[in-house]
Amino acid sequence: MRTLLIAGNWKLNPTTAEAASALAEGVKHGLGAATDVHVAVAPPFVFLSQVDRVLEGSPVGLSGQDLYWENAGAFTGEISGPMLVDVGCTHVILGHSERRHGQGETSAQVNAKLKAALAAKLIPIVCIGETKDERLAEKTEAVLLDQLQGSLADLSPEEMAGVVLAYEPVWAIGTGLTASPEQAQSAHAFIRGWLSRTFGEATAGRVVVQYGGSVKPDNAVELLGLPDVDGALVGGASLKAADFLAIIKAGQEVAARGKS
Ligand code: PGA
């Protein structure tokens, strides 16, 4: 079984350094030394250094929410892979729907960012997912295919094995709507099938594919128990340490009992 990765995407929250430290403290103390699932948090850039200090000695990974494909230079407002590594990051989220749809980010740009993340030795979490209109028009698989091909272009199987994917149906993000277990498993199986055809079965078997979109303590066990779901990318529920810890606990239960 692939090791589950539960990651908390804090987005543009919380609004103070003190609150960011308190949230990180809560996760660190609640988790202790448990390592049967991988855990990471993605605070806003400005809090990364201090959250890294809070997390010292804990197995919780630290993630950026984005990066720029150039390492340094005249790029106002951007943050690079080496900068993220310098402040303690292990992971970076790329191509989140709030960037693809909110900021017009393309799969070609996500691909350039992915290559920069791999060069910086960060673990990239590449997000893909369809909008409500695309699902209603039965275009889910076509959209996923397009995003997979564009975002993951020119990767070797070895590079691919080190990339985490997050299937996040856009209509489920922050809405309280969750994909049904059938919808989630079907999308994840489609992604796994494409990985297998493109990179080979062995590589496809190694790639961690998270589900994201209104994951909460009360639906986590069911979603994480699905055969091709290897973790969760958690937004809203990662802002309360108790809720995030409950989702991690659900992952630990699934890890302990195994999947069929
Ligand atoms: P949500 O966000 O859990 O608040 O739906 C998920 C995400 O955007 O990664």
In tens, the pLDDT along 88-128 reads: 999 999 999 999 999 999 999 999 999 999 999 999 999 99
168 annotated active-site? yes
pLDDT category of residue 153 using cuts at 50, 70 and 90: very high
Amino acid occupying residue 45 = F
Instruction: Write down the catalytic residue from 96, 105, 130, 188.
Output: 96
pLDDT for residue 118: 98
Q: Which of 166, 32, 30 is closest to 100 using CA atoms? A: 166
User: Cβ neighbours of residue 125 under 8 Å, at least 6 residues apart?
Assistant: 5, 7, 63, 91, 92, 93, 94, 164, 165, 166, 210, 233
Instruction: Write down the catalytic residue from 98, 105, 134, 168.
Output: 168
233 lines ligand 1 (CB under 6 A): yes
Give 259 or 126, the one with higher predicted confidence.
126
pLDDT for residue 1: 78
Does residue 160 contact residue 152 with C-beta atoms inside 8 Å? yes
pLDDT category of residue 35 using cuts at 50, 70 and 90: confident
pLDDT for residue 128: 98
Percentage, residues of the chain above pLDDT 90: 95
Q: Which among 96, 233, 239 is the best mutation to test ligand 1's pocket, defined by most ligand atoms within 8 Å of the CB?
A: 233
Q: Which among 91, 92, 215, 216 is the best mutation to test ligand 1's pocket, defined by most ligand atoms within 8 Å of the CB?
A: 215
38 annotated active-site? no
pLDDT for residue 33: 83
pLDDT category of residue 32 using cuts at 50, 70 and 90: confident
Distance CA 251, CA 166 (A): 16
Q: What is the pTM of this model?
A: 0.97
